[in-house]
Amino acid sequence: MKKFGFMAVLLFVFILAFPHNGQAAAGSAKIFLDDKQLSLSGNAKVENVNGNIMIPFRVVGENLGFDVAWEQKTRTVTIKKDSKVIKLVVNQKTADVNGTKVSLNIAPILRTDTVIVPIRFVSEQMGLKVNWDNIKKIVYLYTQEIETGNGDAGTGAGNGGEATPGTGSGNGGSNTGSTSAAQVNGISFSDNRLMIATNGQAKVNAFKMSGPDRIVIDLENAKFSDSFSSSNSPLDQNSMGSLDISGYPDVSQVRYSLYNNNPSTVRVVVDLNYAKNYKLTNENGLYIVDLNTSDSGTPSKPIGGSGKKIVVIDAGHGAHDPGTTGVTGKKEKDFNLAIVLKVEKLLKQEPNIDVVLTRSDDTFLELKDRVKIANDLKADVFVSIHANSAGSSAASGSETYYQRDASKAFANVMHKYLVQATGLSDRGVRYGNFHVIRETKMPAVLLEVGYLSNKKDEATLFTESVQQRVAQGVVNGIKEYLGVQ
């Protein structure tokens, strides 16, 4: 009993010595202002208080050139810059902004030598755009310093225009907005080009920013489509996501988010490794940010330039749509992407061919958007890669599908190389009424490389050497049909 009493007293003292306000362990979180990390000295840190992300106001204010003063007696923080005066009182949920009372979701909190405030207040009163990355625990604050870019959506060249600060908080939130908002259906990066597939009417504003270098594309009056946001984690709970980019010296990452709620705005950011010009084109809602440009902004490598053939390769399914699942649990979408990436690598070695992928990672595009990419680029051929499944585990072999008579000759050539590459039984060239080969305007085929419902086929398809042979076979078939040496 004495031991129990001593422990109870010790616990009571511990609670008194370390009070809390329901905050989560967010002390290791970081703050970036225009992508530059701010130094959090002393006891200043980011905190999650009852679901509200709170940041030390002095750190942000002083880095923005605000005059920040603290009055101990009234426990008031006064922030001044130009004609704007903001007063915050600890533990009061009302702030004074130029004499006007403004409500806060949560009152400012005094933490030893700093006052923390909710990031929503920062965005609304200091003219900043704010994003919170809940996975990496990073607060991103952005001013609107704009560097002239080559990206007018109307002409595809010239100045990027000005970015207009939104009125919303910009810190994620629900995917709300006008019912007539444009839908962002897919985002992909291939051949040093960013592609954003949309439908509906969006106001597009592109510009460059420095420190670090990046290209920003804002699609105002736009939101992520249901198919995008329900896919296999392209968006986190704050409506943010990213593409990991490798193999491209210009780009380190592509980020995207529901940047504003009013008006609903989707922002896509291309993080550059150094300053780079670009060209933005709009082909009926397919926005292409082309980094293959010279310093003057002139495309140095236009798609299909110098008489090159344009080849679009489509990895079927993706993200929340896995396609079929094999006997041992392997997913069709992973096989399709593995083949497509190998095909891309091989085609990039062909000087007379330009290759474009509909997806280069585990993202999802609607069938109509895959078609749109090929049609808008006026591709010479279109190839969709798939793996098959059947009710019987005995089904095995390779098939090639066409839908239009104009595609039959292409299908015959592609099938010859496909069967040679897989070594599986030849199930022939067949008619198939599939959307991607029906609605495309160029010769188009859909390859069913093998059956994942067959244990032997599945093991074969997920062999590295077989995948490489299939990729080479796809390239050989394309070259023969196009007459490319």
* Cα gap 175→225, rounded to integer Å: 9
* Cα gap 24→450, rounded to integer Å: 50
* Cα gap 303→298, rounded to integer Å: 13
Residue 466 contacts residue 421 (beta carbons within 8 Å): yes
Distant-in-sequence, close-in-space partners of 86: CB < 8 Å, separation ≥ 6: 78, 79, 80, 95, 96, 97, 98, 125
Q: How far is residue 398 from each of residues 144, 337, 339, 425, 468, measured CA to CA in Å?
A: 54, 18, 15, 6, 16
* Cα gap 425→121, rounded to integer Å: 65
Question: What is the Cα Rg of the chain in Å?
Answer: 27
The total of other beta-carbon atoms located within 10 Å of residue 5's CB is: 9
448 assigned to active site: yes
* Candidates 220, 399, 448, 458; catalytic one: 448
Residue 350 contacts residue 479 (beta carbons within 8 Å): yes
Give the CA angle between residues 144, 197, 154 to the nearest 5°: 60
**Residue 139, CB half-sphere, CA atoms under 13 Å: how many?**
32
Distant-in-sequence, close-in-space partners of 384: CB < 8 Å, separation ≥ 6: 314, 316, 370, 434, 436, 437, 444, 445, 446, 447
243-280 burial string, b = 16+ CB within 10 Å, else e? bebeeeebbbebbbbbbbbebbbbbbbbbbeeebbbbb
**Strand 286-290 to 309-315 pairing:** unpaired
Show which residues are catalytic.
Answer: 448
